[in-house]
Amino acid sequence: MTPSLATLIRTDPPTSLGELIAREAAAVQAASSIRCANPECETGEKVAFGDGRGRPKLYCCESCRRSADHTRSRLQQDLTELDDLAASLEGSARERRTVEGLIARRRWLLRSYRE
């Protein structure tokens, strides 16, 4: 079984950057690509890390990025409105639990969308 990078570093700490790079090459390799960061992406394309400079891509295309930004913004607005109204409106315990469930669902969905 190939050890993790953390295990290799703990058992034999590198004394130079060259040794650190060698340890990383000997360790279990991290993924070089990820699925598109838009949870609603229909293509299922993988996005590669790339060897170039700059920030790596998170989305397979510009429309996926825009769609994810729009959905995240809408969920955040819904959450703000629900929180404000839940605090100011009266209702039965059953209705309050239902609204708390609506709030919890939106918080859960927001965790899928990157900032």
User: Which pLDDT tens digit goes with each residue over 6-49?
Assistant: 998 999 899 899 999 998 988 888 788 889 999 999 988 888 88
Tokens of 31: 């993924």
Q: Are residues 18 and 71 in the same domain?
A: no
Q: Are residues 51 and 88 in the same domain?
A: yes
Q: What is the structure's pLDDT at 54?
A: 83
Q: Are residues 52 and 80 in the same domain?
A: yes
Q: What is the structure's pLDDT at 52?
A: 74
Q: Are residues 39 and 53 in the same domain?
A: yes
Give pTM, 2 decimals: 0.71
Q: Are residues 5 and 16 in the same domain?
A: yes
Q: Are residues 7 and 59 in the same domain?
A: no
Q: What are φ and ψ of residue 38, in 5° steps?
A: -85, 115
Tokens of 115: 């900032």
Segments forming the whole domain that contains residue 77? 31-110
What's the pLDDT band for 108 if we cut at 50, 70, 90?
A: very high
CB-CB contact of 48 with 60 (8 Å)? no
Q: Are residues 36 and 53 in the same domain?
A: yes
Residue 81 maps to a domain: yes
**pLDDT top residue among 85 and 32:** 85
Q: Are residues 86 and 38 in the same domain?
A: yes
The DSSP output letter for 39 is: T
Separation between Cα atoms, residue 103 and residue 46, nearest integer Å: 31
Q: Are residues 44 and 100 in the same domain?
A: yes
Q: Are residues 71 and 102 in the same domain?
A: yes
Rounded mean pLDDT, 85-106? 94
**What is the count of structural domains for the chain?**
2
Q: Is the pLDDT of residue 115 over 80?
A: no
- For Cα atoms 4, 46, 36, give the angle at the middle one, nearest 5 degrees: 100
**Does residue 33 sit in helix, strand or coil?**
strand
